[in-house]
Structure formats: structure tokens, C-alpha cells
Amino acid sequence: MLLICRRFLRSFEPGGYTVPFHEFAKSVILGDYRFYKESRSLVANVFRPTAARNASRLSCLRILSYLATSSKKHGASDGFVDLQELITGFVDIFDNEDDCVKAIGTLIALNRQLAELDTRRTDTLVGAYSVRITTAGKYYLNYMVNAFSYLVSCGMTPQWEIVQWAKVWYASFIRQICKIDLQG
């Protein structure tokens, strides 16, 4: 026991302690609270299904993935993708226009803005012709959905599964699911 205490105390010597990423992420995601609630957190839950019929937990990730890949395919220098093309592609594959529109609404929401409309509005799609992924959206797509502390906070896994193999498995699972391209 004394050895453990000495190691712990030595970790606080100058340059001796690094905060693990999962602890840092957890403190940012939860803030002063014990449980995650999206309305009071600085971090959005991209796994929350919309209120649409047959909504998927992956709709936001699918849209972010599509926006990230489509802007490169079409060579758009500003990154915007045709909004109607996105909705039509989503409907063709998943047959759920309402879920797509509500998921885009979630992504453009004020203080989150994982996607951006050409109108710069954060409350409605009315009048918008195109949409693009933001830097925050790319960060969520490439890093946050792979962070186990984010998955746990968003309710993607029960607390008792917090073990190393689950961390690796879920990160790999989410990466594979997000590779679905709306173009087929």
C-alpha cells in the first residue's frame, strides 16, 4: 500500500502527471453533473434518434459522413453539398425523409453547429439550397464517436461493459457503420 501511495504522490511532481483523455472528455461532457443530459452539456449526442417514425441512432453520423465525402467527390471548394440531393439520397436508401430533415436540424442547431447551411440559419432549413460539414462536425465524425468516454456518456453502452475489449470493439464497430455511403 505504501508503494502505491508513493507512486501516486510522485505522479504530481512537475511534469509527472498527464490527465488521461477519457477523464478529460468525461469532465467536459458531464460538466458538474453525474449523468449526461444533452440540453445542459456542451457536447451533442449524435446517437440520439429524432422523433421521426422509425428513426435511426445513426442518422446524424450517416449525414455527417455523406457531407464529409461528398464535398470531396464534387470538388466543391467551399464544401457545400446540394441539400435536396442529400435528402433524396437518404430517402432512396433509408425511406425516411422526416428522419433526415430532423437529423439535419439537429446538426445545424445553435451552439452545436456540426453542419452549416448556405443561409447560415440555425433554426430552419427554409430557403437553404446546400449544406456542409463544419470543423466541429468533422471532429465528432473522426474522433468523438471513437472515444469510449463519449459512447458511454451518450448511453451507447451500459456501465458494466467498461473494459478494454469493449473500447476497441465499439470504436471499430462505429467506424465500420459510419463508412456507409449514401450513394450506394
Of residues 156 and 25, which shows the higher confidence score? 25
Of residues 74 and 49, which shows the higher confidence score? 49
Percent of all residues in the chain with a pLDDT value above 70, rounded to a whole number? 71
In this prediction the pTM is 0.73
Domain tally, the chain:
1
Q: Domain span at residue 34?
A: 19-46+56-178
At 181 the pLDDT is 46
- The answer to whether residue 115 is domain-embedded is yes
Tell me, rounded to whole angstroms, the distance of Cα 115 from its chain centroid: 11
Weakest mean pLDDT among 49-63, 67-81, 87-101: 67-81
What is the arithmetic mean of pLDDT over 20-35?
A: 80
At 43 the pLDDT is 85
- The answer to whether residue 131 is domain-embedded is yes
pLDDT of 160 strictly over 50: no
- The answer to whether residue 1 is domain-embedded is no
Q: If pLDDT is split at 50, 70 and 90, which confidence band does 97 have? A: very high
- The answer to whether residue 68 is domain-embedded is yes
Q: What residues contact 81, with CB distance under 8 A and at least 6 apart?
A: 66, 67, 70, 71, 74, 130, 131, 132
Q: What residues contact 113, with CB distance under 8 A and at least 6 apart?
A: 107, 122, 134, 136, 137
Q: What residues contact 123, with CB distance under 8 A and at least 6 apart?
A: 110
C-alpha grid cell for residue 40? Answer: 445542459
* Measured distance CA(23)–CA(75) in Å, rounded: 39
- The answer to whether residue 183 is domain-embedded is no
Assess contact for 90 and 62: CB atoms under 8 A.
Answer: yes
- The answer to whether residue 184 is domain-embedded is no
pLDDT of 42 strictly over 50: yes
At 182 the pLDDT is 44
